[in-house]
A and B are shown apart, each in its own frame.
Chain A
Amino acid sequence: MSEAPLVDMCGISIAFGGIKAVDNVDVDLRHGEAVALLGHNGAGKSTLIKILSGAYRPDSGEIRIRGEKADIATPREAKRYGIETIYQTLALADNVDAAANIFLGRERVSRLGMLDDASMEAETRKVMARLNPHFRRFKEPVRALSDGQRQSVAIALAIYFDARILIMDEPTAALGPAETKQLGELVKELKKQGIGIFLISHDIHDVFDLADRVAVMKNGQLVGTAHVRDVTEDEVLGMIILGKCPRGAKPGPGALRG
């Protein structure tokens, strides 16, 4: 354990009104590792990763990136740390096309400050060819696309800019089997390049296939973390539903006592 983790989130808490959406959670992520965040609906998974991606500021807690304290106040600053996010709600601007969405906030411009739409579209075609080879509707506003196609655009948006830390909030919810498989290959490839991935998914099979570790949340608290090789799928389900921490896992403050 000489090398500092890529991301280290310590004692993160945030409350919305009276609800403690995230309560004193510790998770870390190493280079080339995928950590799956699991939990029931409303457990606080999306809120936790939105803190890392700069959408929310935590009430307390500290984020360290490569061992150094990071102050992430806006999505812009998160991107500066190489954090890219696929949001569960697929944050896309519906009224513009795929290329405009992918390059939003980071448009390519010519020397005169004019948008270089031709080159942005060419890059979009390249990155979409890896994710969804059948995709053809590059000129249309994304509102006209199917949910799966929109999801592909959201994924393209996150992987295009050389992320060091990739956050995927239910990236396969709308994808067909072929596209899901493609995303699985992509995750493995990105891990080989040393990119750290936070993956949120409700599909335990996918999680055991793609992730190295799982972190389970319940009512905003961390039930525990475990290497996937140390626990069974049933034990992980027990963590999610009952909050029971099995022998192979490291219990957190939210674990059932007794």
Chain B
Amino acid sequence: MRQLWAEALVAALLCGVVLGAVLVANSYPLPAGVARRIVEAAGGTWPQGGVFIAHGLAIPVLIAIAVGVSVTVLATQMRFGRYVFAIGGNPETAELSGVNTRRTLMLVYALMGALVGNAACISTARLNAATNAAGTLDELYVIAAAVIGGTSLAGGVGTILGAMLGALIMQSLQSGMVLLGVDTPLQTIVVGLVLVVAVWLDTIYNKRVK
């Protein structure tokens, strides 16, 4: 247990971080085109110098945070998460200990399906278009993100926060390549290389703990 003052300090710092993030997000204006449409939709006229409408937090970010927090609780504080880690560590043991491994694995896939559905909604809303090829090859990014974030391909090791940071890195990499004007095939090659290196480091790490 931490001291009370330490708890208070941590709580105050976390509040500060949240407030700071909201402040920063709100000090950016919405792009002129979007702001203009909002003003006109509200029945106003677009003034000469433009209008400052705060950008605010993107809703997908809020959804990501909510999902991250709830899945972290599920993984670390609930029976289900304990079973998932135990099965990842040693499926035979989990079975012998009386864990219903088939049911747990089914639930894992169901959870993944639900999360993918969530992601598909966001991506469709962002593109404002639904195609049957949406998300193709995203699994490459997802696996790379998880492995970079410390998830072991051998199973039983990893955190949600790590995977989310990994996703941030992968997305930064991709956006950076787009801004630099790297060709699409080359982008895929770079992502593949990153994945290969991450897996290689993971196997080295696994050998050392064994």
Name A residues whose Cβ lies closer than 8 Å to a Cβ of B: 53, 55, 74-76, 79, 85, 87, 91-96, 100-101, 104-107, 109, 113-115, 143, 157
Contact = CB atoms under 8 A, between A and B. Distances in A.
B126 interface: no
A143 B209 CA distance: 8
B129 to A, nearest CB: 40
A96 B82 contact: yes
A93 B93 contact: yes
B98 A96 contact: no
A92 B95 CA distance: 11
A6 B3 CA distance: 53
B90 A92 contact: yes
Nearest to A103: B82
17 contacts: A75-B96, A91-B90, A92-B90, A93-B85, A93-B90, A93-B97, A93-B156, A95-B85, A96-B82, A96-B85, A104-B86, A104-B97, A104-B99, A105-B94, A115-B77, A115-B79, A143-B209
Contact of B98 (A75, A87, A143): A75
A93 B78 contact: no
B79 A76 contact: no
B78 A104 contact: no
A77 B39 CA distance: 67
A157 B97 CA distance: 9
A251 to B, nearest CB: 34
Contacts of B83: 104-105
Contacts of B86: 93, 95-96, 100, 104
A157 B94 CA distance: 13
Contacts of A91: 90, 92-93, 96-97
B181 to A, nearest CB: 43
Given A100-B82, A107-B82, A114-B77, A93 B98 contact: no
A76 B100 contact: yes
Given A93-B89, A113-B78, 19 more contacts: A55-B96, A75-B95, A75-B96, A75-B98, A76-B100, A92-B90, A92-B93, A93-B85, A94-B90, A95-B85, A95-B156, A96-B156, A104-B86, A105-B98, A106-B98, A107-B82, A113-B79, A114-B77, A115-B78
Given A75-B98, A104-B94, A104-B97, A94 B89 contact: yes
A96 B156 CA distance: 9
B178 to A, nearest CB: 38
Contacts of B82: 96, 100, 104, 107, 115
Contacts of A114: 77-78
Given A76-B98, A79-B98, A113-B79, A96 B93 contact: no
Nearest to B210: A143
B150 interface: no
B56 interface: no
A121 to B, nearest CB: 14
Interface string B94-127: 1111111000000000000000000000000000
B78 to A, nearest CB: 6
Nearest to B93: A91
A25 B88 CA distance: 36
Nearest to B152: A95
A53 B96 CA distance: 9
A95 B156 CA distance: 6
B63 interface: no
B157 interface: yes
